[in-house]
């Protein structure tokens, strides 16, 4: 050690001189770098280090799941049928509409068989009874509630029996939607459920639970995939503040579209089966109906807003957007009561062909984008016309599988300007 450094000399005199570094062995340094420090030649290799836990981050599958879909060319009914014989009505429906039969509704049987009373029977922990002013919430279930439940059980028995021979792959059931129900039932105070936001939410939750039970029972009885039709004939009036108050001198304030959408969206998601929203009003809110997760939308295709020269461009645009999204329409094409004169399926199919032509859709796509139905329920029809109407719906479904390219009786120049205008507007 050099003594030129006074500090080093002092440390050495005190016996604190630092030790001289040992010469580094190149082999030892290499073994240490390889994680084999201290190993000697001939020793067995050390055990491999424990593997580190790998963190796997699964990417969410953003591909939308394909919704189950009834067969192309299917036809169905709206719900109600004439008469009081549920066995006869169920056999007629299944026989004429084998691809998508529906649960028959017979409102002619009276209290509890109508749309509101029938749906109210499905509510969980909420009971309603008939009062002079209509259906009203009561503290406990009474005769009217029990009668509605009995009628519904008879209907399910008849549907199960009618389906046994053919075992259809799909069955449709119907119920009033939460907004129509809230507009049609009174609280104990006499005011409509619609006037109380909390009561509306409570009704919607109760209806959701009841529909889950109902759909599960239908699926178990028939072995079929269930399509739930949610009837909202009162929805335009709810949105437009046209529901009258008990006095009749005023109307219930309107419900915001966002609130109406949220309630419908939650119900459809929570019931958990394919659903179709049905509104046959001329001012049906198509954008709302198509934007809440429904598998299909049901409208009357003969109403002036979407048919012929009276068609409203905004309504046609909404239908075009629905079809662009791949969402089918249940199109009401067959009159719900017998019309005058001869009726053919070719003539009844024309509004659907015109709609496809005006919106720029190939007619052959109608088999997957359109399910023909009557324009409304058949409760007001004669038994003979009810059967003929269902038969015509089935014929229309078959016609959409192989539609004509050109209408044989149509002038090729007729309405060409209208079709070009519609395509230009949508593009």
CATH of the domain at 91: 3.20.20.210
Per-residue pLDDT band for 19 (boundaries 50, 70, 90) equals low
Domain hosting residue 167, numbered range? 86-426
What percent of the chain is modeled with pLDDT above 70? 79
Say what the pLDDT of residue 425 is: 52
For the cut 90, the answer to whether the pLDDT of residue 126 exceeds it is yes
So what's the pLDDT on residue 57? 45
| Residue 345, pLDDT above cutoff 60 | yes
pLDDT of 37:
58
Which pLDDT does position 193 carry in this prediction? 96
Provide the mean pLDDT of the chain. 86
**225 occurs within a structural domain:** yes
pLDDT, mean of residues 316-339:
95
22 within a domain of the structure (yes/no) = no
Q: CA 272, 278, 281 angle in degrees (round to 5)? A: 155
Specify whether the CB–CB gap between 364 and 375 falls below 8 A: no
Give me the number of domains the chain comprises. Answer: 1
pLDDT tops 70 at residue 358: yes
The residue with greater pLDDT, 181 or 17, is: 181
Supply 390's token pair.
């269902």
| pLDDT classification of 26: cutoffs 50, 70, 90 | low
pLDDT, average across residues 285-306: 94
Residue 377 covered by a domain: yes
pLDDT of residue 101: 98
d(CA 27, CA 44): 17
Assess if residue 298 is contained within a domain.
yes
pTM comes to 0.80
Q: Are 384 and 81 in contact (CB under 8 A)?
A: no
Confirm whether 95 is domain-assigned.
Answer: yes
Q: What is the dihedral of CA 351, 355, 358, 363, to 10 degrees?
A: -100
User: Residue 52: pLDDT band by 50, 70, 90 thresholds?
Assistant: very low
pLDDT digits (tens, 9 = 90+) for 346-355: 999 999 999 9
pLDDT tens digit string along 362-402? 999 999 999 999 999 999 999 999 999 999 999 999 999 98
What pLDDT, on the 0 to 100 scale, is given for residue 10? 55
Q: Answer yes or no: is 300 within a domain.
A: yes
What's the rounded mean pLDDT across residues 116-145? Answer: 94
Question: What distance lies between CA 63 and its chain's CA centroid?
Answer: 19
Q: Is residue 73 part of a domain?
A: no
**Residue 360 contacts residue 423 (beta carbons within 8 Å):** yes
pLDDT tens, position by position, 234-287: 999 999 999 999 888 899 999 999 999 999 999 999 999 999 999 988 889 999
CA dihedral 173→217→271→100, nearest 10 degrees, is -30
Residue 33 lies in a domain: no
Q: How many Cβ atoms from other residues are within 10 Å of residue 2's Cβ?
A: 6
pLDDT at 149: 95
């Amino acid at each position: 050690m050099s003594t030129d450094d006074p500090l080093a000399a002092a440390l050495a005199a005190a016996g604190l001189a630092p030790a001289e570094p040992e010469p580094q062995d190149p082999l030892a340094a290499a073994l240490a770098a390889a994680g084999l420090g201290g190993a000697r030649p001939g020793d067995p290799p050390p055990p491999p280090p424990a593997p580190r836990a790998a963190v796997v981050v699964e990417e969410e599958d953003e591909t939308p799941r394909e919704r189950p879909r009834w067969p192309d060319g299917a036809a169905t009914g709206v719900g109600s049928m004439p008469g009081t014989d549920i066995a006869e009505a169920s056999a007629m429906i299944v026989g004429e509409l084998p691809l998508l039969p529906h649960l028959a509704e017979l409102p002619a049987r009276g209290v509890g068989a109508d749309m509101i009373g029938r749906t109210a029977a499905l509510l969980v922990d909420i009971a309603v009874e008939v009062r002079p002013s209509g259906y009203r919430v009561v503290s406990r279930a009474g005769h009217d509630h029990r009668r509605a439940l009995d009628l519904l059980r008879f209907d399910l028995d008849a549907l199960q029996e009618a389906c046994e021979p053919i075992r259809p792959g799909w069955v449709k059931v119907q119920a009033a939607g939460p907004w129509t129900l809230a507009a049609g039932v009174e609280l104990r105070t006499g005011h409509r459920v619609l006037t109380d936001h909390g009561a509306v939410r409570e009704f919607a939750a109760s209806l959701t639970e009841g529909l889950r039970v109902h759909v599960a029972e239908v699926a178990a009885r028939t072995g079929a995939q269930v399509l739930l039709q949610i009837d909202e004939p009162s929805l335009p009036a709810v949105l437009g503040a046209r529901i009258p108050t008990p006095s009749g001198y005023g109307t219930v304030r309107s419900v915001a579209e966002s609130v109406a959408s949220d309630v419908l969206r939650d119900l459809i998601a929570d019931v958990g089966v394919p659903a179709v929203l049905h509104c046959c009003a001329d001012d049906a809110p198509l954008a709302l109906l198509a934007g809440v997760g429904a598998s299909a939308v049901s409208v009357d295709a003969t109403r002036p807003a979407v048919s012929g020269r009276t068609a409203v461009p905004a309504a046609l645009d909404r239908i075009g957007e629905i079809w662009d999204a791949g969402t089918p329409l249940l199109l009401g094409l067959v009159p719900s009561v017998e019309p005058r004169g001869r009726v053919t399926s070719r003539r009844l199919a024309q509004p659907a062909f015109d709609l496809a032509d005006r919106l720029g859709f190939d007619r052959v796509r109608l088999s997957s984008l359109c399910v023909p139905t009557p324009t409304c329920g058949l409760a007001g029809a004669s038994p003979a016309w009810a059967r003929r109407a269902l038969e015509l719906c089935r014929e229309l479904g078959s016609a959409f599988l192989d539609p004509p390219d050109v209408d044989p009786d149509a002038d090729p120049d007729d309405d060409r300007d209208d079709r070009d205008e519609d395509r230009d507007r949508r593009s």
